[in-house]
Amino acid sequence: MLRGSKLSVFRRYVSKNTVINTDYKLGSADLPHDAVVFSMVQPTGKFHLGNYLGATRVWKELCEMKQPEQKLVFGVADLHAVTVPKPDAKEFRQLRHEAIASILSVGVDPERASLMYQSALPEHATLHWMLSTLAPMGYLNRMTQWKSKSNLKEDREASDKEIGAVKLGLFSYPVLQAADILIYRATHVPVGDDQSQHLELTRTLAENFNKLYKTDYFPLPNTLLAPTKKILSLISPETKKMSKSDPNQDGVIYVNDTPDEITRKIRKARTDSITDRFNYDPQARPGVSNLINIVSGILQVPIQQVEEQVSKFSNYGEFKNYVTEVVVEELRQPRENFQRYMEDPSYLESVVTKGTAEAQEMTQKTINDVMKIMGFR
C-alpha cells in the first residue's frame, strides 16, 4: 500500500562546483549518456537503514535507468576495511559475502552493474601509490576520517604521542579512496554528505596529476549527494549516526531485520516530552526529526510533506506505528532477497567473478595509460 503512495517525482540536478544535489527519484535524463558511476561500501556485513538510504538504493535506481554507453561499478571496500585490523579471517570473509548479498538484495542488477571486491583488483593499490606522491601532508592532516577512527578529538590539537600511534594506512585512507574513483575515470560518485570531503581531495589529486603531466586524462568526478540527511541512532539521535559499531544495537535498523524487530526498535526510539504535535526540528527535537527524516528518505518526498502527514497524529503510539509501517514495507523485499542470496554462495561467487573481470578491463587500461603518461612505459 505504501509503495503505491509514493509520489511520481523526479530528481533535479543543480550543479555547483561539481557537487550535484539530487531530489527524490532519478530519471534517465539526469546523467550523461556516457557517464561512469562508481561507489563502494565497507564490508560490515548486513546493511543498516543509513547505508540503504544514503547510498545503495541509489545504486538500484542507477541500474534501472542505465543507458547502453553508461558504466556502473559498485564494490566492497575490503582494503579500506583493514585500516582497522580484522584479526578473524573467517569472520572477515563472511562479512564480504554478506556485503555482496546486501548489494544484490536492495535491487542492484549484476547484468547492468559490475560488482567486485576492491582487493581483487591490484590496480587500486598501484594508483594509490602514484597518487600518494602528489598528496600534500597538510591536506591529509585536515581530513576527519583518520581522526575519528583513531578516537582523536577534532576540536583540539592531537599530541605527538597520539599522532605517533596512528597507522599509515588509516592516515592515507583518503588517497586510496581517490585511487578507487580515478582508476575507473569515474564521472559521478553517489555518496552521503559525510563523504564530500573525500571527493574534494579526489578532484584535487586529479587536477594535480593533470597539471603536472600536462594532460586532461583524469576527469573531475561529480559528487551525487542523495537528498536524505544522515540517519541517526534511534537511541542516541543527539550524538550518534546509525552505525553497526554502536554498542546499543537497539539504535540500528538492519535491512534484514524482521517486522517484529523493526517494531520493537522504533517503539524504543528516543523522542521527547512533547506529545501533542510532531514536527521537524533537528536541534530541539532530534529523535522526532530523525524518524521524520527516515520516512522522508523511504517515501522519497520532502520533509515538509511528511510533517503534514504526521501533524494529524495525536500521540506517539500513532506516530511510531506510522513510521514502523513505512519501514517494514520498504524493507520487506530486501530482507527476503538477502536470505535467498545467502543460501546460494555459488551465485554470489559467479556475480563477483563476472564483475571483477568487467572492472579489470577498465582498471588495467587506466594503469597502462597512467604509466605511459608518467614515463614508466
Per-residue pLDDT in tens (0 to 9) along the chain, 377 residues = 344 433 332 232 223 445 444 455 666 666 899 999 999 998 887 889 988 888 788 899 999 999 999 999 999 999 999 988 888 999 999 999 999 999 999 999 999 999 999 999 999 999 999 999 999 888 888 776 676 666 666 655 667 777 777 888 888 999 999 999 999 999 999 876 666 677 889 999 999 999 999 999 999 999 887 666 789 999 999 989 998 878 899 999 999 899 999 999 999 999 999 988 999 999 999 999 999 999 999 998 999 999 999 998 999 999 999 999 999 999 999 999 999 999 999 999 999 999 999 999 999 999 999 999 999 98
Model pLDDT, residue 80: 92
Q: Which residues pair with 116 in a beta bridge?
A: 75
Q: Which residues pair with 33 in a beta bridge?
A: none
pTM: 0.85
Could you tell me which residues come within 8 angstroms of residue 359 by beta carbon, excluding any fewer than 6 positions away?
A: 73, 75, 114, 116, 121, 184
- 8 A C-beta contact, residue 71 and residue 362: yes
- Tell me the C-alpha distance between 342 and 352, whole Å: 14
Model pLDDT, residue 99: 93
Model pLDDT, residue 340: 96
User: Can you say how many angstroms the Cα of residue 136 is from the centroid of all Cα atoms in its chain?
Assistant: 26
- 8 A C-beta contact, residue 72 and residue 113: yes
- 8 A C-beta contact, residue 131 and residue 207: no
Model pLDDT, residue 259: 97
Query: Crossing angle, helix 89-105 and helix 345-374, to 10 degrees?
Result: 90
Q: Which residues pair with 189 in a beta bridge?
A: 223
Which amino acid appears at position 48 of this protein? H
- Tell me the C-alpha distance between 341 and 109, whole Å: 13
- Tell me the C-alpha distance between 127 and 118, whole Å: 13
Q: How many helices (H) and strands (E) does the chain have?
A: 16, 7
Q: Cell numbers of 275, please?
A: 506529545
- 8 A C-beta contact, residue 173 and residue 145: yes
Could you give the angle at the alpha carbon of 59 between the alpha carbons of 114 and 269, nearest 5°?
Answer: 135
What residue spans of the chain are helical by DSSP H? 49-51, 57-65, 78-81, 89-105, 123-132, 137-141, 145-149, 160-164, 168-171, 173-182, 196-212, 259-268, 286-299, 303-310, 316-342, 345-374
Q: Cell numbers of 200, please?
A: 574534494
Model pLDDT, residue 29: 60
Could you tell me which residues come within 8 angstroms of residue 351 by beta carbon, excluding any fewer than 6 positions away?
A: 100, 104, 110, 115
Running DSSP on this structure, what letter comes out for residue 55?
I
Query: Crossing angle, helix 345-374 and helix 316-342, to 10 degrees?
Result: 80
Q: Active-site positions?
A: 149, 241, 244
Helix (H) / strand (E) element for 230: namely none
Model pLDDT, residue 21: 45
Other C-beta atoms lying within 10 Å of the C-beta of residue 127: 24
Other C-beta atoms lying within 10 Å of the C-beta of residue 278: 27
Which amino acid appears at position 214 of this protein? K
Model pLDDT, residue 110: 98
Please, which contacts does 14-19 make with residues 24 or more away whose CB atoms are closer than 8 Å?
Answer: 15/222, 18/203, 18/220, 18/221, 18/222, 18/223, 19/196, 19/199, 19/222, 19/223, 19/225
- Tell me the C-alpha distance between 35 and 190, whole Å: 12
Helix (H, G, I), strand (E, B) or coil at 188: strand
Model pLDDT, residue 8: 30
Distances (CA, A) of 198 to 2, 40, 176, 180: 36, 13, 10, 11
Q: Cell numbers of 128, please?
A: 594509490
